[in-house]
Structure 1
Amino acid sequence: MLNQYALNDPGYTLNPALISENTFINCTNSIAIRETRTYIRNNYFYYDGALFPIFILDFGGGQPEITNNAFVLGRPNMFIDNLVVADNGDLIQNNVFISPTSADEPFVYTEFPIISKNNHFEGGLIAHYLAYQAISPQLVIKNNNYWNTRSKYYPSYNNPYIHTEIQKDPMFIDSTDFHLQKYSPLIDRGDSSVLDKDGSISDIGVYGGPFGESYVYIDKAPRAPSGLTVTLSADTVLLKWKKNTESDIRMYYIYTDSTTGVTTDTNSYLTSTNDILLKIPKSYFTWGSAYFRIVAVDSGYNKSQGSIAVGVVLTGTEEGEEIAAERYRLYQNYPNPYGGAGKEKTKISYELKKRGYVKLRVYNVVGEELAILVNGEREAGYYEEEFGAPVIRKGLEDHILTSGIYIYKLEIRDSETGHPVFNESKKMLYVK
């Protein structure tokens, strides 16, 4: 960790300076500028330490152009200083500011008018702190996106460009890849005077604008629905869940079964709906308890993973009691045994009650690792992975499965603490 400025311009030169394509990790203070014209672009700033970081500090006079950078705070419940301290005339354009918490200080602090446009702000308490002489006709804040950020500006002011400001799910590829998915509301939503490399209107975010990147927008599946509740009211089973925030959600599929192991296939399919509320007559069910999962479907008919299973008791003394299956769980693979007769692959299902780092691996009986099915962050929800012939693993591309017992192992670490929270193995049988 650096406790001083990683790059400090003392102002001895009037030549323009370019700071580009650098990575700053846990630098308490990363860049300080005095008077020199400075271009800060395409850098990555990350901090998850215990102090109060300032990523960029403009002491005045340099009027830097701060473009196409990612500013990321990696830990919740942390306190920050001001990620960017700007000065008169600074340009802050096509950046991404990410905080996993409502930190007590702003992303951008300025005492003078600045130009802030085409930026994405996510989390945090304040996007722009406008002090002293900042609020003036020269202040330009436009075409920014604010997602789960408490306040766009503090103190509040009558922004003449408020009609260009939006609050939308950005639909990034994932939490560490800030490329936009197909149908993202940030596509072509920047200031019309700024163009992307392909000549279209700038996207909001780090890959938009003339110093961004031309790329193909990927149509990914939606996130798994969350917040499912199931209640019994008179003779009706009532399901409610949170609405997905992606812009291209088309409908939801509902699956049901008599056990917590509700699969998201045709055998368990119940119905579809465009709503986030569903009423089902109790008489439909012949079971003592009914469990449900919800799957989100987008306009391209891509399906999300299933929600966490939640059920309700339908008969007996505990009738009407909700059964929440919010836990970590590894299910038995299906089919089992598998192999031959069109069953060369089997599905391994697991469940996360909260976001975690997941490793799912397959071994033979002598402990040789045959496949890594998952190795990365996953949101809370229900997941299914396929395993079978051929085995896909570096160095084992041509490995042929032989009849016998195989072991699959699920390990989960809490994303916030890094501590192990789940570790379980199960056996499966492959028959050629």
Structure 2
Amino acid sequence: KGFNIIVSNSREASGIYSGYGNSIIEFNKIINTHTSIYISDSNTFASENILINVEIGIQLFNSNSNVKNNQITNVKRGILIDAFTGNYYPIVEENIISCELRGVGVGFNSRPTIRNNIIFLNGDGAIGYQGGGSDSVWVYNNLVVASDGLDFLDGFTNTTVPTIEFNNFVIGEVETGIIVWNFNHIKNNVVLNGFKGIHKGGSGNDIIIKYNNAWNNNINYKSFIPDSTNISVDPMVVNEDSLDFHLQMFSPLIDAGDPDILDLDGTRSDIGLYGGPFGERYPYLDLAPKPPRNLTAVVDSQYINLSWNKNTEADFNSYNLFRDTTANFTADSTTFVVNLTDTFYVQIIPPGIDAFYYKLTAVDNQGNESKPSEELPVIITSINEYPTTVSDYRLYQNYPNPFNPSTKIAYKLKERGYVKLYVYDIKGELVEVLVNEVQEAGYHEVEFVGQLGKSTNLSSGVYIYQIMVKNGNNIPVFSDMKKMLLLK
């Protein structure tokens, strides 16, 4: 208890070994080892340990241990579980793992319960949970967060053993959120913003995939036709940028889970991270919609044609459009133009007007109004070559700002070009290269996480982000920079 173990000359060394008995391992800090904590033939309570820069965080063998509330950072493999027989029931719960290869891996025979863990995927090929040849597994209420810009990430990779998997949440650029095989029961889960949501690999009649939500993936459901209990809707979480996945008051996931699984308050289970018996009791907040995105204009003869992306909240009602002839105006009753339910608006250009500036807000059924969109300038020229798309190069202010731990940076490209997007600290030192590739014309977004490399959190303060764009002839055509504030 309370040891500080640092290995400076060998990554093959181990930190703490527990064997043949009952013990408590807690409040230790272990750095630069191969296996930080190895537990064999022992029923150990391992809690509140901090493990940094290790090959394996915690390894269990023939153990009924409870591994709880540990922070495992910059690790190849977070927690590994094996046994000779199926007579072992370890519990892995409430750990935070930042891994390059595996968050939690299950080998042979044991019957673990894995619940309420947070797993960050920070290396190519990383997997949040990987099944093996265990006798059976229960996987509940775990969050897997995939870092942007990495390849071949997976959320939950199951195998053909009895696996009960419900109320898990996968977000980010995963190759597959959940891979399903024979003997798997997959219920009440959410997969958001990946390539494939839920992929059925097995073909047995013992597969159950029900009451899940796969949303905003390139392919929401793969290799099977989802029944009516599996949906694809905006989950309406409180704030995915700050990893707050509690549901808002009018989320379609409330009381939409398996009716045989109950929430802590005794009602039908919610789909998502905090539903089910291992979830949370919490109030549903009635929040405003997200600000409208990608407000764009096309000037055609005597008209300005505005368009934007549609909001997806279940309680969305309409848009309020605002306009002025001066930049940086305030969206209020003096600049209000019209309330709309469509995602387009046609403005007749009156004589004598050189420019219009537009902002847009979203309104829900309760009257909550979002923050305004980014301001769109429309400069009206005497050029008679129409239509002219007013979507010139632009770098937007990040949102949210201030932020913690992540924020989104959006920008527009007038034409195809080579884009570099950097983040610097206030001293001018490079923090991260967010984009370094050729991209097509249009609206783009990238996420910035307040983290240096794979493990070191950035300190609070002002950061600078800068965009530089070259055209097809390698000629610089646009550059801009803005400030953003990280608050912790």
Task: Give the letter aligned to residue 65 of structure 1.
Answer: W
- Indicate the residue corresponding to 1:58 in structure 2: 131
1:140 equivalent to 2:208? Answer yes
1:312 equivalent to 2:378? Answer yes
Equivalent runs, 1:32-71 vs 2, <5 Å: 32-33=105-106, 34-49=108-123, 51-71=124-144
Specify which of 62, 83, 89 is matched with residue 11 of structure 1: 83
- Indicate the residue corresponding to 1:166 in structure 2: 231
Equivalent runs, 1:119-158 vs 2, <5 Å: 119-131=189-201, 134-154=202-222, 156-158=223-225
Specify which of 207, 210, 220 is matched with residue 274 of structure 2: 207
- Indicate the residue corresponding to 1:112 in structure 2: 182
Cα separation, partners in 2 of 1:83 and 1:301, compared to 1, 3 Å: same
- Indicate the residue corresponding to 1:72 in structure 2: 145
1:31 equivalent to 2:104? Answer yes
- Indicate the residue corresponding to 1:87 in structure 2: 160
The answer for unaligned runs of 5 or more in structure 1 is 329-350, 360-373, 383-408, 426-432
Task: Report runs of 4+ in structure 1 exceeding 6 Å deviation.
Answer: 411-414
Q: Identify which of structures 1 and 2 has the higher relative contact order when contacts are C-alpha pairs closer than 8 Å and 6+ apart.
A: 1
2:287–2:368 CA contact under 8 A, matched in 1: yes
Distance 1:271 1:73 in 2: 40
Once the two structures are TM-superposed, the CA of residue 327 in structure 1 deviates from its matched residue by 3.9
Task: Give the letter aligned to residue 169 of structure 1.
Answer: D
1:289–1:314 CA contact under 8 A, matched in 2: yes
Cα separation, partners in 2 of 1:86 and 1:287, compared to 1, 3 Å: same
Task: Give the letter aligned to residue 36 of structure 1.
Answer: S
Distance 1:232 1:294 in 2: 18
Once the two structures are TM-superposed, the CA of residue 151 in structure 1 deviates from its matched residue by 2.9
Alignment length (residue pairs): 350
TM-score by length of 2: 0.65
Cα separation, partners in 2 of 1:70 and 1:266, compared to 1, 3 Å: same
- Indicate the residue corresponding to 1:302 in structure 2: 368
2:200–2:224 CA contact under 8 A, matched in 1: no
Cα separation, partners in 2 of 1:25 and 1:257, compared to 1, 3 Å: same
Distance 1:267 1:214 in 2: 43
How big is each residue's C-alpha offset from its partner over 1:70-100, in whole Å with a ceiling of 9 and x where there is no partner? Answer: 011122343325643333220110000112x
Task: Give the letter aligned to residue 284 of structure 2.
Answer: Y
1:311–1:322 CA contact under 8 A, matched in 2: no
Once the two structures are TM-superposed, the CA of residue 114 in structure 1 deviates from its matched residue by 0.6
The CA RMSD over aligned residues, in Å, is 3.0
Task: Give the letter aligned to residue 119 of structure 1.
Answer: N
Report the 3-state secondary structure (helix = DSSP H, G, I; strand = E; otherwise coil) of the residue aligned with 2:186: strand
How big is each residue's C-alpha offset from its partner over 1:111-164, in whole Å with a ceiling of 9 and x where there is no partner? Answer: 423100100011222233433xx222211001100112233444x2345xx111
Specify which of 276, 288, 291 is matched with residue 357 of structure 2: 291
Identity %: 28
Cα separation, partners in 2 of 1:106 and 1:215, compared to 1, 3 Å: same
Specify which of 250, 256, 262 is matched with residue 329 of structure 2: 262
1:288–1:314 CA contact under 8 A, matched in 2: yes
How big is each residue's C-alpha offset from its partner over 1:312-339, in whole Å with a ceiling of 9 and x where there is no partner? Answer: 34453478655447645xxxxxxxxxxx
Cα separation, partners in 2 of 1:302 and 1:417, compared to 1, 3 Å: closer
The answer for unaligned runs of 5 or more in structure 2 is 1-52, 57-76, 412-425, 435-446, 451-462, 466-480
